[in-house]
Amino acid sequence: MKESDSCHFGEHLMLDGYGGDSKKLSDRELVLSILNDLPGRLGMTKLSDPEVYFAPGNNGKDPGGWSGFVVIAESHISIHTFPARGFLSVDAYTCRNGMDCGFITAYFKERFGLGDVEEHFVKRGKRYPAENIG
């Protein structure tokens, strides 16, 4: 069976955003708002309220910023901001197939004023069993 014909468990979109608005990347409430809003826009179900934490810098390449996540029935969405670098890192992982990567990328570009985005898309569980075992 060719990979294109096979079923896969889920999809994982990883975004790296550059040239973002440092004020927006510093905004805890914006991160929280996105984590509350995006699952519904994607037709997904939140299992908990989002959590957002300030992560201090480590005197290295990480100058600190906000880290947040929301657990959804379909998996999770996480956001990490680095205001001093204008950088954003996002993971959107779902057990659904057919993720609208274009919508998600445009959403984050607009919300954080990103100048450029790298998109990494992975089909997960390419050999996911079709039936329960045991």
CATH number of the domain within which 54 lies: 3.60.90.10
Residue at 12 is within a domain: no
Residue at 14 is within a domain: no
pLDDT in tens, 17-66: 999 999 999 999 999 999 999 999 999 999 999 999 999 998 888 899 99
Active site (annotated) includes residue 75: yes
Residue at 2 is within a domain: no
Tell me what pLDDT residue 1 has: 33
Residue at 16 is within a domain: no
pTM of the full structure: 0.89
Query: Does 5 score more than 90 pLDDT?
Result: no
Burial label, 15 (beta-carbon count in 10 A; 0-12, 13-18, 19+): buried
Active site residue: 75, 76, 89, 101, which one? Answer: 75
pLDDT in tens, 59-104: 888 899 999 999 999 999 999 999 999 999 999 999 888 999 999 9
Instruction: With cut-offs at 50, 70 and 90, classify the pLDDT of residue 6.
Output: low
Mean pLDDT score, 104-123? 97
Active site (annotated) includes residue 7: no
Query: What is the DSSP secondary-structure string of 10-78?
Result: EEEEEEEEES--HHHHT-HHHHHHHHHHHHHHTT--BSS--EEEEEE--SSS--EEEEEEEEETTEEEE
Tell me what pLDDT residue 118 has: 98
- The domain total for the chain is 1
Residue at 91 is within a domain: yes
Active site residue: 8, 33, 89, 95, which one? Answer: 95
Instruction: With cut-offs at 50, 70 and 90, classify the pLDDT of residue 13.
Output: very high
Domain with 28 in it: 21-121
Active site (annotated) includes residue 95: yes
